């Protein structure tokens, strides 16, 4: 058996074990109506109560939700696909805005020691700030919850891109730069024909890190601002004490995050630099 087949078999066994253990540890959350008084019955004590859902219950809910994921029956009743679409659009808006700013600025910092030393204190001060700490200020200044969420994604995703781009540019071998000087290339041509190809692997590392952070932050941001999005979906289902929907949405967040990361990883293969 090859290593790949062994890994697939082990993954399946882990999944089966998780389902079995999960079903054994979780109850169905139901309470029998037997021996209940009339008062207890009227108070709903015989109805199904909030409980930790088992894997089978979550799987049944997932099949139901994914069978019709894009419905929209009002503010608090949207399909999981619709909610994810709102979140992905916000993430992409903030993410690509940070790409437009971070990559060129990272090039400038990496190619200019003066700019590097001048901007380094500001980067070190702003980088550790929690993205959600910007949300109150963004809501006050922008006065729009959707644009505020986009701004939070922008401010959290710009730093890994900026730092990795600058590091990639500064790490280009001196021999490559000397070849460009020998060929009398100007700074613009050298940046696009020598520095950019050599720095691309490091730049894509920053892009992957930023995407992961963006997807993490959007969930928390939508819990704060509400309205639409997967973060709001999770919070709304928690308020309804529907823990099966909460677990299902958590799984969907993980799957979408994996897909977004895989997309960037797959794209980076087309930009590999070989000496």
Over residues 207-242, the pLDDT tens digits come to: 999 999 999 999 989 988 878 899 999 998 888 888
Confidence label for 179 from pLDDT (cuts 50, 70 and 90)? confident
User: Comparing 21-25, 160-164, 200-204, 262-266, which segment has the lowest mean pLDDT?
Assistant: 21-25
pLDDT tens figures, 59-83: 999 999 999 899 888 777 888 999 9
pLDDT of residue 49: 58
pLDDT of residue 52: 78
CA-based diameter of the chain, in Å?
Answer: 94
Query: Nearest to residue 229, comparing CAs of 92, 94, 85?
Result: 85
pLDDT of residue 77: 81
pLDDT of residue 100: 95
Q: Is the model's pLDDT at 190 over the cut of 50?
A: yes
Q: Which residues contact 57 (CB under 8 A, 6 or more apart)?
A: 26, 28, 244
pLDDT of residue 32: 45
Q: How far apart are CA 101 and CA 162, in angstroms?
A: 8
Share above pLDDT 70 across residues of the chain, in percent, rounded to a whole number: 90
Query: Nearest to residue 51, comparing CAs of 224, 204, 241, 272?
Result: 241
pLDDT of residue 50: 61
Confidence label for 268 from pLDDT (cuts 50, 70 and 90)? confident
Q: Is the model's pLDDT at 36 over the cut of 60?
A: no
CATH 1.10.3720.10 fits 55-271, yes or no: yes
Q: Is the model's pLDDT at 4 over the cut of 70?
A: yes
Structure tokens at 17: 């074990």
| Residue-averaged pLDDT of the chain | 86
Structure tokens at 158: 């710009």
> Tokens 């069978």, residue?
67
Identify which has the larger pLDDT, 123 or 29: 123
Q: How far apart are CA 131 and CA 222, in angstroms?
A: 13
Confidence label for 33 from pLDDT (cuts 50, 70 and 90)? very low
> Tokens 């692997």, residue?
201
Q: Is the model's pLDDT at 48 over the cut of 80?
A: no
């Amino acid at each position: 058996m090859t290593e790949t087949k062994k890994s697939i078999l082990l993954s399946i066994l882990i999944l089966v074990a998780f389902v079995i253990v999960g079903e054994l540890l979780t109850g169905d959350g139901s309470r029998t109506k037997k021996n209940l008084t009339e008062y207890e019955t009227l108070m709903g004590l015989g109805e199904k109560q909030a409980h930790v859902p088992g894997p089978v219950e979550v799987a049944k809910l997932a099949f139901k939700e994914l069978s019709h994921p894009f419905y929209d029956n009002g503010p608090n009743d949207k399909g999981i696909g619709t909610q994810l679409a709102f979140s992905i659009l916000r993430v992409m808006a903030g993410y690509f805005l940070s790409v437009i700013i971070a990559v060129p600025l990272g090039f400038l910092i990496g190619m200019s020691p003066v700019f590097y030393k001048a901007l380094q204190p500001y980067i070190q001060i702003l980088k550790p700030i929690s993205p959600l700490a910007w949300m109150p200020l963004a809501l006050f200044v922008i006065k729009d919850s959707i644009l505020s969420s986009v701004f939070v994604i922008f401010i959290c995703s710009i730093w890994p891109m900026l730092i990795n781009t600058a590091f990639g540019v500064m790490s280009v071998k001196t021999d490559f730069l000397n070849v460009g000087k020998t060929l009398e290339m100007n700074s613009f041509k050298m940046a696009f024909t020598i520095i950019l190809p050599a720095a691309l692997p490091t730049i894509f590392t920053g892009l992957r890190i930023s995407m992961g952070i963006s997807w993490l932050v959007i969930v928390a941001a939508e819990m704060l601002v509400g309205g639409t999005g997967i973060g709001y979906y999770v919070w709304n289902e928690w308020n309804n004490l529907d823990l099966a929907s909460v677990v299902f949405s958590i799984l969907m967040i993980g799957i979408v995050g994996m897909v977004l990361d895989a997309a960037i990883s797959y794209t980076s293969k087309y930009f590999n630099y070989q000496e």
